[in-house]
């Protein structure tokens, strides 16, 4: 059994978190993106998404279909691992609005979560389980337990029903707030009320803005700190906003531009 705060132990703001590995600088959710984030931009944490293949392998990918990021077509879940590994996961990536495709035909593949865990054996991961498929949490739990990775992974889903099943399966792991539970927390604070306590979730992965309203403020930061929780904001690619968040002491910044975030965090006089 893990202590509930294993994932949070030793964390200090502000964390550099590569969103999908840095989706604007390399093909998202691939080992190529993750390696650049870790080795070039010295990221503290990788944010990634997972699905199940037809034969039950945990695949790192955001979409439930293949067209946007690969040269494949149709649902990811309809293909086996062997079939998915034949796809070019760098086929669609372009840094210049379609003028060039530098990773096309370069052997970039969809990775499994097992491959990512083994490639970065000491790195923390923020893992979102995407499909609402009962039993997917069992597959993910077996993988993380078998790889000895539970203490360095924060799990969750945007969908509350998936997040609840994950927590039931892995009650001692770190879990981030799903959408409805997160909204209840934020809306209570905005209304000047005490937010509902939910000990299942210890990390707030949340957008910086809701429409024109900036959600991060002193009230939120104080409430999170008082409850021993952690907060990461997504997806922040603007250098000025990065600077402001660092000055505010935000827990972590999720970005598609890990290069820019590293520049801002390394700038003279920056805390953390």
Between the alpha carbon of residue 134 and those of residues 131, 137, 222, the distances in Å are 9, 7, 36
Residue 99 maps to a domain: no
Residue 102 maps to a domain: no
The per-residue b/e assignment along 237-250, b for 16 or more CB within 10 angstroms, e otherwise, is: beeebbeebbeeeb
Residue 106 maps to a domain: no
What is the number of structural domains in the chain?
1
Residue 165 maps to a domain: yes
Host domain of residue 260: 6-65+113-266
User: In CATH, what number is assigned to the domain containing residue 179?
Assistant: 3.20.20.190
Tokens encoding 266: 């390394």
Q: How does pLDDT run across 133-163, given as a tens digit for each residue?
A: 989 999 999 999 999 999 999 999 999 999 9
Strands 58-60 and 45-52, bridge-based pairing = antiparallel
Residue 36 maps to a domain: yes
Q: How does pLDDT run across 51-93, given as a tens digit for each residue?
A: 999 999 999 999 999 999 999 999 999 999 999 999 999 999 9
Tokens encoding 208: 């910086």
Taking 70 as the pLDDT cut, the residues of the chain under it are: 1-5, 270-272
Between the alpha carbon of residue 187 and those of residues 84, 149, 180, 214, 248, the distances in Å are 41, 33, 10, 13, 21
Q: Phi/psi of residue 96, each to 5°?
A: -135, 40
User: Can you give the pLDDT at residue 268?
Assistant: 81
Identify which of 124, 184, 179, 129 has the alpha carbon closest to the alpha carbon of residue 155: 129
Residue 49 maps to a domain: yes
The alpha carbon torsion through 62, 155, 208, 257 (nearest 10 deg) reads -50
Tokens encoding 12: 């200090």
Residue 71 maps to a domain: no
Residue 251 maps to a domain: yes
């Amino acid at each position: 059994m893990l202590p509930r705060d294993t994932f949070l132990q030793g964390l200090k703001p502000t964390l550099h978190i590569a969103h999908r590995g840095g989706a604007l600088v390399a093909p998202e959710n691939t080992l190529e993106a993750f390696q650049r984030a870790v080795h070039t931009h010295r990221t503290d944490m990788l944010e990634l998404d997972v699905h199940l293949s037809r034969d039950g392998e945990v695949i790192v990918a955001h979409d439930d279909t293949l067209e946007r990021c690969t040269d494949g077509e149709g649902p990811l879940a309809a293909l086996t691992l062997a079939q998915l590994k034949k796809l070019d996961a760098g086929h669609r990536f372009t840094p210049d609005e379609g003028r060039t495709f530098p990773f096309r035909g370069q052997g970039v593949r969809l990775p499994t979560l097992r491959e990512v865990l083994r490639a970065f054996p000491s790195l923390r991961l923020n893992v979102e389980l995407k499909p609402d498929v009962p039993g997917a949490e069992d597959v993910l739990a077996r993988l993380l337990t078998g790889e000895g990775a539970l203490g360095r992974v924060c799990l969750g889903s945007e969908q509350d029903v998936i997040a609840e099943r994950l927590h039931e399966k892995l009650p001692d792991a770190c879990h981030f707030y799903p959408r409805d539970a997160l909204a209840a927390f934020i809306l209570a604070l905005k209304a000047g009320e005490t937010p509902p306590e939910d000990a299942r979730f210890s990390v707030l992965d949340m957008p910086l803005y809701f429409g024109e309203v900036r959600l991060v403020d002193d009230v939120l930061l104080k409430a999170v700190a008082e409850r021993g929780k952690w907060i990461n904001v997504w997806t922040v690619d603007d250098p000025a906003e990065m600077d402001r968040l660092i000055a505010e002491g935000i827990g972590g910044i999720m970005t598609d531009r890990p290069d820019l975030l590293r520049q801002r965090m390394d700038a003279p006089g920056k805390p953390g």
